[in-house]
Amino acid sequence: MSDIVLHGYWRSGTSYRTRIALALKGLDYDYRAVDLRAGEQHGETYRALQPQGLVPAMEVGGDVLVQSPAIIEYLEERWPEPALLPTGPVDRAAVRGMAAIIGCDVHPLGNLRILKYLTGELGQPPESVRSWVNRWIGDGFAALETLIAKHGGAFAFGDRPGLVECYLLPQVYSAARFQTDLSPFPKLMAVAERALADERIAAAHPDRQPDADGETK
Of 51, 7, 70, 54, which is closest to residue 33 (Cα–Cα)?
A: 7
Q: What's the mean pLDDT in 112-138?
A: 94
Same domain, 23 and 71: yes
Q: Which domain holds residue 171?
A: 89-199
| CA 32 – CA 154 distance, rounded (Å) | 33
pTM equals 0.95
CATH number for 186: 1.20.1050.10
Read off the pLDDT of each residue in 69-81 and give the average, rounded to a whole number. 98
- Domains in the chain: how many in total? 2
d(CA 65, CA 6): 10
pLDDT of residue 213: 87
**How far, rounded to the nearest angstrom, does the alpha carbon of residue 2 sit from its chain's CA centroid?**
22
| 1 pLDDT tier (thresholds 50, 70, 90) | low
- The span from the CA of 157 to the CA of 6, in Å, is 27
Distance between CA atoms of residues 33 and 144, nearest Å: 31
What is the number of other CB atoms lying within 10 angstroms of the CB of residue 210?
7
Residues 95 and 190 in one domain: yes
Say if CB 11 and CB 204 are below 8 A apart.
no
Same domain, 146 and 97: yes
Q: What is the CATH number of the domain that holds 57?
A: 3.40.30.10
Gap between the Cα atoms of 180 and 95, Å rounded: 24
